[in-house]
Amino acid sequence: MATEPQTSEQTSEYVETERRLVEEVFNEGTISVIDEIHTPDYVGHWFLPRGGEAGIPELKEFVAGIHEGFDDFRMDEEFVLADGDMVTLGFRTSGTHAGEFMGIPATDERGESVGIMVHRYEDGKIAEGWAVWDQLGMLQRLGVVPEEFHLSDFLETALTLTKQDVLKRTRRKDRG
């Protein structure tokens, strides 16, 4: 996907929109801003507990869930890089896990995570987004996953179980 050339004024507007996303949506929990800064047909490619892509309703549900699960949730911008119609935002989050979040009961532990979001802009609004963050590290800090757990151990066990025909490899229907 090639990026479309943009003026420095457009790029500045995109950076300002990213900052609104951080401050107004994630930090203040003002869900209505999501409609203002995203296209109606926004598509998000990021982790959902049930899989698939996210639209505006799922994004709103996710942000509301963050604020239900972390009463003092905070997202801080680490960097913003803009190139054409694409913007990358590095972030750091923190908060106390005081309520249920993504099916995990409150632990009353403080959690932190780092990640990035990449957004593609269309007509001045976020049309598509990708996000990754350190979910394993956050779950370890919340005490949900043991500190000594290493993903490589899990993958090694999964590989062994697959070789023993205990686990079966399947393809998701939407991937053919």
Which residue in the block uniquely carries the two structure tokens 């004024």? 9
Distance CA 137, CA 129 (A): 22
In angstroms, the CA 128 to CA 118 distance is 8
Over the stretch 60-76, which tens digit does the pLDDT of each residue have?
A: 999 999 999 999 999 99
Q: Enter the pTM of the model.
A: 0.78
The segments of the chain whose pLDDT lies below 70 read 1-7, 47-51, 151, 153-158, 160-162, 164-176
Q: Which of 35, 8, 33 is nearest to 20 (CA)?
A: 33
Q: What pLDDT, on the 0 to 100 scale, is given for residue 142? A: 86
The CATH architecture assigned to 8-148 reads Roll (3.10)
The half-sphere exposure of 31 on its side-chain side, counting CA atoms within 13 A, is 13
Rounded-to-integer distance, Cα 59 and Cα 130, Å: 12
At 98 the three-state DSSP class reads coil
Specify the amino acid at residue 3.
Answer: T
Place of tokens 């549900």: 61
